[in-house]
Structure 1
Amino acid sequence: MKKAHVIMLLLLCLVGYSAFGQADSSSEEPNLINTEMLKKMTVAIENQTYPNVHSVLIHYKGNLVFEKYFSGKDESWGTDLGVVEHGENTLHDLRSLTKSIVSICFGLAIQNGFIENVEEKVFTYFPEYGDLNIGLHQEITLKHLLTMTSGLEWNEDLPYTNPKNSETAMVMSDDPIRYVLSRPLQESPGSVWNYNGGTTELLSVILHKATGLNIEEFAVEYLFKPLEIDTYYWTKAPGQEHPIAASGLRMLPSDILKIGVVLLQDGYYKGEELLNKQWVEESFTSHVKRGKNGGYGYQFWIDQSPDGKEPNKLVTAVGNGDQRIYLDKSKQLVVVTTAGNYNIWDLEKGSFQLLTDFIYPALEK
């Protein structure tokens, strides 16, 4: 009889905590979310009304309330993988969501004393390119790289198969860093947002110079190991050993979610501070206007909440193909999606529509 009581106590302890070290409130709130609405979402994904979605994970009020995987056509950094049966152990491209991981690592580098602050001048780290450190180029700071406000000429609006696409040209260049730093200035640094994967590559090289570890090595030591993440792949640039910081990371959706939950918890994991709260707040602050209604933080996109009630409250890590981490701190919500809609820029039924059509309505029970 005593043995049975001990087993029962152990089971209660196990179910009382989620995988992220948070107390599980499901015993207090058994109906956190409208599951019927999520069932409708699953059917809509399976019948391709919302095409080629590969996974949806929802963490709400300290609980993993939804985790579902779907089969679909996929790629690995442009290489066709055919139809993949996605599951909890299937790696997935992050594409430009990798940029947000780089930003987190940059914050960890500052936190650990490798880099002083975001106001340092970029060319401080590149004396070998002193011939380019002229005019307003001298004013470009680390913060300008983080917020994509360097002012450097850059065009990623062209297809990535087009050699005139600036990121493609950078990757194929014999000297990618010189290619980025040599771009003429179109705007004064800090004044205008322009999407620029080259600045993320600069951040990763600066981190390497400051720490002696490349971006992959640093991420493993200071982010992945503390979060118990051991399954990933980081694509290298063609003919180089340097990991592609702007788009090269592949991870498990559950590990992407883990990072999202840490950010939602102001940098804490299992009750211990991993990432400085101030860095999270700065990353999630809109430092510059982006388009008509959006903003941009430190490699994170800032937008209005899908319910229209919370301006500048939805923080998103964004990757080509509809890879997303959506963070809504006011609702204690993290949503991760992966999909195979690469280079489809006019997708009408994508992950954001899953938020507006199903996920946010499901929160209202």
Structure 2
Amino acid sequence: MGMDMAERVEAVLRDGGAPGFHGLVVRRGGQVVLERYGAGADFRLGEPLGHVTFDRDTLHDLRSVSKSVVALLYGIALGDGLVPEPGAGLMAQFPEYPDLAEDPGKAHLTIEHALTMTLGLDWNEDAPYTSPANSEIAMELAPDRYRYVLERPVAEEAGKRWRYCGGATALLGGVIAKGTGRPLERYAAEALFGPLGITDFAWTRGPDGIASAAAGLRLRPVDLAAVGQLVLDGGRGIVPEVWLEKALRSRVPIDGPFTYGYHWYVLAEERRRVQAAGNGGQLLVVVPDEELVVAVTAGEYDRDTGGSRAVLETVLEAVLEG
């Protein structure tokens, strides 16, 4: 199987099917069975890094895969009694904004609405992630990211419709930082990365000095795959298994085949699949029935050509036919 999978991936890359390809790590049955790295222009949240030749030790932006890691961190903190349950009121977690807490349109918001991205607030990430017309970029540029999100106008009733929102993740990051009494990136190091043996990571901060929970995490692809393995293994006591069962359950429909759990995408077809995805072709895919974890990194920022999906589908085909 291994050789066949490697040959198939090579063919996709050779034929230009994944022009921005940077890295691939495949784990099967708990072992790394394929690793492949590329080269190309790269960025750290919009900051040019020039032409990079990637290898096992090169950190890569995970962009919105960061969101799914934040959901794991919330689950760890919840298991340790450091953060409130998902049903807790959201505005109550930010008492420093009494003016916003008095908005009757927001009184019923909960942490769960943030976890499922159903806040019902006016938020738009359709513009490129280089433009302040994009709500996430506007949030990063705002003097206070939490106030920026919480003061967005109510657009519709919460809990009804999934609307992609990096602001939801920022709020979760704030809840985790407040509850654990340390910055998000330090809690991540202590509670998740340390126990996994991951020592080399970075979490890009906004101008306010706060880690960008929605998009700032940088990991080596092998370590991203190790996070996927942890999810596949039921958390191994690092992430509570009861939390993973909640987080990886279909909760909100999304246009297309995927549904949304707690900051994870869930494909509930005959072969259940859970995944995290980020701008530019960043993917972390877990297929429990096949004991399969696939991590892909790429540099197709704001112009995704589908190359990472092509690589993923090639791996899945090799597994299913193997």
TM-score (norm 1): 0.84
Q: Answer yes or no: is the 8 Å Cα contact 1:35–1:362 preserved in 2.
A: no
Q: Within 5 A, what are the aligned runs for 1:9-28? A: none
Q: Which residue is equivalent to 2:295?
A: 336
Matched, 1:234 2:191: no
Residues 155-204 of structure 1 show CA distances to partners (whole Å, capped at 9, x for unaligned) of 00011222221111111111221111011111211111000001111111
Distance 2:200 2:229 in 1: 18
Distance 1:304 1:221 in 2: 33
Q: Judging changes above 3 Å, is the alpha-carbon distance between structure 1 residues 253 and 292 closer, same or farther for their aligned structure 2 residues?
A: closer
Q: Which residue is equivalent to 1:123?
A: 91
Distance 2:253 2:148 in 1: 26
Q: Which amino acid aligns with 2:248?
A: F
Q: Which amino acid aligns with 2:32?
A: L
Q: Which residue is equivalent to 1:136?
A: 105
Q: Answer yes or no: is the 8 Å Cα contact 2:204–2:211 preserved in 1.
A: yes
Q: Within 5 A, what are the aligned runs for 1:12-91? A: 33-91=1-59
Matched, 1:327 2:286: yes
Matched, 1:316 2:280: no
Q: Which amino acid aligns with 2:80?
A: N
Q: Which residue is equivalent to 1:179?
A: 148
Q: Which residue is equivalent to 2:130?
A: 161
Give how far 1:303 is off: 2.4
Q: Which residue is equivalent to 2:158?
A: 189
Give how far 1:246 is off: 0.8
Distance 2:315 2:144 in 1: 46
Distance 1:304 1:356 in 2: 17
Q: Answer yes or no: is the 8 Å Cα contact 2:8–2:314 preserved in 1.
A: no
Q: Judging changes above 3 Å, is the alpha-carbon distance between structure 1 residues 47 and 293 closer, same or farther for their aligned structure 2 residues?
A: closer
Give how far 1:304 is off: 5.2
Whose relative contact order is higher, 1 or 2, with alpha carbons under 8 Å and at least 6 apart? 2
**Quick one: which of 240, 257, 261 aligns to 1:293?**
257
Matched, 1:356 2:286: no
Larger Rg computed on CA atoms: 1
Q: Answer yes or no: is the 8 Å Cα contact 1:300–1:317 preserved in 2.
A: yes
Q: Which residue is equivalent to 2:248?
A: 284
Matched, 1:104 2:68: no
Identity %: 37
Give how far 1:65 is off: 1.0
Distance 1:115 1:284 in 2: 19
Q: Answer yes or no: is the 8 Å Cα contact 1:46–1:70 preserved in 2.
A: no
Q: Answer yes or no: is the 8 Å Cα contact 1:34–1:364 preserved in 2.
A: no
Q: Answer yes or no: is the 8 Å Cα contact 1:34–1:362 preserved in 2.
A: no
Q: Which residue is equivalent to 1:20?
A: none
Q: Answer yes or no: is the 8 Å Cα contact 1:38–1:359 preserved in 2.
A: no
Distance 2:110 2:298 in 1: 34
- Listed as ranges, the gaps of 5+ residues in structure 1 are 1-32
Distance 1:60 1:194 in 2: 33
Q: What is the total number of aligned residue pairs between the two structures?
A: 321
Distance 1:110 1:361 in 2: 38
Q: Answer yes or no: is the 8 Å Cα contact 2:65–2:282 preserved in 1.
A: yes
Q: Which residue is equivalent to 1:223?
A: 192
- Listed as ranges, the gaps of 5+ residues in structure 2 are none
Give how far 1:47 is off: 4.6
Give how far 1:75 is off: 1.2
**Quick one: which of 105, 116, 119 aligns to 1:147?**
116
TM-score (norm 2): 0.95
Q: Which residue is equivalent to 1:274?
A: 238
Task: Give the aligned CA root-mean-square deviation in angstroms.
Answer: 1.5
Distance 1:82 1:304 in 2: 39
Give how far 1:236 is off: 1.0
Q: Which residue is equivalent to 1:8?
A: none
Distance 1:78 1:46 in 2: 28
Q: Answer yes or no: is the 8 Å Cα contact 2:46–2:130 preserved in 1.
A: no
Give how far 1:351 is off: 2.0
Give how far 1:34 is off: 5.0
Give how far 1:354 is off: 2.1
Give how far 1:127 is off: 1.3
Moved over 6 A (4+): none
